[in-house]
Amino acid sequence: MHWADVAAQALAHKSDTHVVSTGITPSGEFHIGHLREILTGDIIARAAKDAGLAVDFVFIIDSADPLRKVYDFLGPEYEQFVGNQLGAIPAPKEDGNPDWERFNDEGWTYANHFLEPFLKALEEIGVQPRLIDNLESYRSGRFTELSKKACDHADDIREAIERISGRELPDGWFPWSPLNSRGGLDKVRVTGYEYPLVHWEDEYGESGSSDLTKGEGKLPWRIDWPAKWGWIGVTCEAFGKDHGAAGGSYSTGREIVKILGHEPPHPLVYEWISLKGQGAMSSSAGNTIGPIEALRLVPPEILRLLVAKSKPNKAIEFDTGMGLVILADEFERLAARDFQHELANDELSRRQRVQIEDAAGAMKMATVVSGQDVKATAVTFRHLALLAQTKKNDDDVWGSLQASGAIQEKTPQLQDRLNRMRYWIQSSHFPDEMRINILTEPNATLLGTLNEVERRILKALTVSLNTCIWDTGAIGACIPQSAKDLDESPRSAFKVAYAALMGSEKGPRLAPILAEIDRDEILQLLNACVIVLEE
């Protein structure tokens, strides 16, 4: 079975009704690493529904969390908001400083600013969870009952955290963090508790009382998480390996939630997504690529496949260059397979059957619309990249594909992929090894390095290309033959061709590229190169 079906089967043994939860703190720009969490939850929820379970899939926006520091993308005015809740402070403008006008007129917050583009990406990628705003949940009283239980059992919770985490909590620790006189969650000390009030003093010389029923503060993270499990009724949650480590927040949370009167959810720990050559993604460090940017490069089902085909405990390296081309072409190959027909083969080994079932399950979960069939386009991303670079007009792209028999007609799916491919080619993400750069005039400097034999090959190649059939096969044979006819190495012909046509010593395969360019345009450039050498 696919890994999500295994998780769904485990849930089915416990109950017919489930709440699958994910959550993210909107402290900065979201990146595709965040997509792994919410897509993992979405895929589990789909598998559970397919298994006949009633599932509520929720996404918790941790807007009650504090701004921890002035990140590099923020202006100096944010120093005043360090420690304040993300859903209660203004969003940044382009210069990085607070947008007070929009905050005062529309209530547009820091959390809104970073959350909005992520929600748009989720819509495009087919993820439609029920949203739960954590700050609003505190303010509306949804945490009240469990916050009271936490405060009433402060000693029990303290003992559990210290025993399981192996760290000693500071004197004066209390399972509620009140807002101080400046609206922050730090620089404040609890001085007493009489439900519903937690009394406090802060470092600014002020004192006051925090009302649990009004959410004038929040539970510390290690208690906030299990409290959410409790009042929401979470039965399954995907979370990163940091939370799943021994002594981590899940270890303490599953005991604290029982103190609060509830049961812990079924855990599913996932590994990080890292950027190739750059390590784990970090919003605060700027080591990211956002989901909106990623979706400009490839269709959403390909990003879904990235997560669906990898078991959660396997790290994913995201490569916006050749790795993404390989992934996209893998998607096309999988979409063209008839998995049911393959599985009907009684001679399959157990290993072969598991591999087919895993691939089928991954493609099922890669669809943007659950239950929708995925259709192959019969056009690889490599070939589409070639056409997008050699054909400036979209109609010429479709004409080439129709002439080769690859497609019968243009489809909305193909047009969408071509649009994304053109954006990808113009971006810094496009792999250099696939970038096509046919010269518009000879590179005299490079041509000057050719020896006498190579110059003779250039003249022979020009004559040969003038008469050969203009298709990939014929051109691919013509280039090395121009050297063989002179009893020279075929490698020399390719060196000459790259120098004359691309101004480089090597590059992508020439034959398929030239076949998509007008013959006269290529011959005109080669003749110009010959003239340069004769001058």
**Residue of 148, 340, 276 lying closest to 348 (CA atoms):** 340
Q: Which of 209, 240, 270 is the last residue of a domain?
A: 270
- pLDDT at position 64, please? 98
Residues in the chain: 535
Same domain, 427 and 475: no
What tokens were used for 321? 């260059």
In a domain, 210, yes or no: yes
State what percent of residues in the chain have pLDDT above 70: 98
In a domain, 451, yes or no: yes
CATH number, domain with residue 7: 3.40.50.620
Q: What CA dihedral angle connects 424, 427, 428 and 433, to 10 degrees?
A: 40
- What is the rounded end-to-end Cα distance, in angstroms, of the chain? 70
Give how many domains the chain has, as a whole number: 4
Q: How many helices (H) and strands (E) does the chain have?
A: 24, 13
Return the axis-axis angle of helices 154-165 and 249-259, rounded to nearest 10°.
150
Give the pLDDT confidence of 235-273 residue by residue, as tens digits: 999 999 999 999 999 999 999 999 999 999 999 999 988
What tokens were used for 289? 């690529």
Same domain, 79 and 187: no
* Average pLDDT for 202-208: 97
For the chain, the farthest-separated pair of C-alpha atoms sits apart, in whole angstroms, at 98
In a domain, 101, yes or no: yes
0.85 exceeded by pTM: yes
The DSSP output letter for 78 is: G
Give the pLDDT confidence of 139-160 residue by residue, as tens digits: 999 999 999 999 999 999 999 9
Same domain, 11 and 55: yes
Q: What CA dihedral angle connects 9, 13, 18 and 24, to 10 degrees?
A: -60
* Average pLDDT for 36-50: 96
Q: What CA dihedral angle connects 67, 20, 45 and 326, to 10 degrees?
A: 30
- pLDDT at position 286, please? 52
**466-500 b/e with 16+ CB inside 10 Å = b?**
eebeeebeebbebbbbbbeeeebeeebbbbbbbbb
Strands 130-133, 197-202: parallel, antiparallel or unpaired by DSSP? unpaired
Is residue 18 very low, low, confident or very high in pLDDT (cuts 50, 70, 90)? very high
Measured between alpha carbons, how far is 385 from 363 in angstroms, rounded to an integer? Answer: 23
Give the pLDDT confidence of 523-534 residue by residue, as tens digits: 999 999 999 998
Give the chain's mean pLDDT: 94
Q: Is the confidence at residue 341, as pLDDT, over 70?
A: yes
* Average pLDDT for 155-166: 97
Q: What is the DSSP string of 223-235?
A: HHHHHHHHHHT--
Give the pLDDT confidence of 481-528 residue by residue, as tens digits: 999 999 999 999 999 999 999 999 888 899 999 999 999 999 999 999
Give the pLDDT confidence of 452-477 residue by residue, as tens digits: 999 999 999 999 999 999 999 999 99
Task: Give me the domain span that covers residue 264.
Answer: 3-143+220-270
Same domain, 243 and 208: no
Give the pLDDT confidence of 56-101 residue by residue, as tens digits: 999 999 999 999 999 999 999 999 999 999 999 999 999 999 999 9
- pLDDT at position 34, please? 86
In a domain, 85, yes or no: yes
* Average pLDDT for 190-206: 97
Which residues share a beta bridge with 270?
Answer: 240
Q: Which of 403, 434, 465 is the last residue of a domain?
A: 434
Strands (E), 221-373: 236-240, 266-270, 273-275, 279-280, 316-318
